[in-house]
Chain A
Amino acid sequence: EAQVTQNPRYLITVTGKKLTVTCSQNMNHEYMSWYRQDPGLGLRQIYYSMNVEVTDKGDVPEGYKVSRKEKRNFPLILESPSPNQTSLYFCASNRWGVQYFGPGTRLTVT
């Protein structure tokens, strides 16, 4: 089944403790991206990657890092999480404009 998977689905952590949210797609898409969704602000892009080893900032990249060492994986790294990064995160892969979203990761930073 074609899909985008994210792990973990839920995470509660403390300020400053490094974490990684994994994202993997099995559709051989070159293009992948990360979004965060917040009430009243909608869905905002964090980072995107047009291919392996090619990443670029989206609208809200501060406090986040990404890497794209292989086509199928696009992890999101929070080196020192802060409470304002509490949000619902989505990974997506893209082919011909259609974005396929993962199920989301609900992150709470206390």
Chain B
Amino acid sequence: SQELEQSPQSLIVQEGKNLTINCTSSKTLYGLYWYKQKYGEGLIFLMMLQKGGEEKSHEKITAKLDEKKQQSSLHITASQPSHAGIYLCGADAVGSGNTPLVFGKGTRLSVIA
């Protein structure tokens, strides 16, 4: 079965600094999804990447998909306290867009003033 490994597991950054979170898949990536979770709450969809080389941005968050490396990265520019939370990547194991996602264990981000 497909497994997703996220790194780092946790991250503490100073407000205003840039940061990158990586997600590496054990198998071919057909679709990669990034979610954010505030502690103990539901997951909020951030972005979906489907094609190799695809890059998407939303506000100060940019995600890229490297199909060859079976990896995705999430980059936050000029971090703010509102960026704090747990970031999870999820992958569509089959590529149908209609199956449960396999998730990484998450990266816990803290932003300090």
Residues of chain A at the chain B interface (Cβ within 8 Å): 30-31, 33, 35, 40-45, 48, 50, 58-59, 88, 90, 92, 94, 96-104, 106
Bound complex: CA of A18 vs CA of B87, how far in Å? 33
Nearest-Cβ distance from residue A15 to partner chain B, whole angstroms:
24
Report chain B residues within 8 Å CB of A43.
43, 88, 103, 106
Binary flags per residue of B48-90, CB closer than 8 Å to A gives 1, else 0: 1000000000000000000000000000000000000000101
Instruction: Please classify the interface of chain A as helix (H, G, I), strand (E, B), loop, or mixed, using the class held by over half of its residues.
Output: strand
Bound complex: CA of A40 vs CA of B3, how far in Å? 14
**By CB atoms of chain A within 10 A, which of B41, B42, B44 has the most?**
B42
Nearest-Cβ distance from residue A62 to partner chain B, whole angstroms:
17
Q: How many residues of B contact A (CB 8 A)?
A: 24
Residues of chain B at the chain A interface (Cβ within 8 Å): 1, 31, 33, 35, 40-45, 48, 88, 90, 92, 97-106
- 12 residue pairs of the A-B complex, CB under 8 angstroms, read A35-B103, A42-B88, A42-B105, A44-B103, A45-B100, A48-B99, A94-B98, A97-B97, A99-B43, A99-B90, A99-B101, A103-B41
Bound complex: CA of A68 vs CA of B101, how far in Å? 20
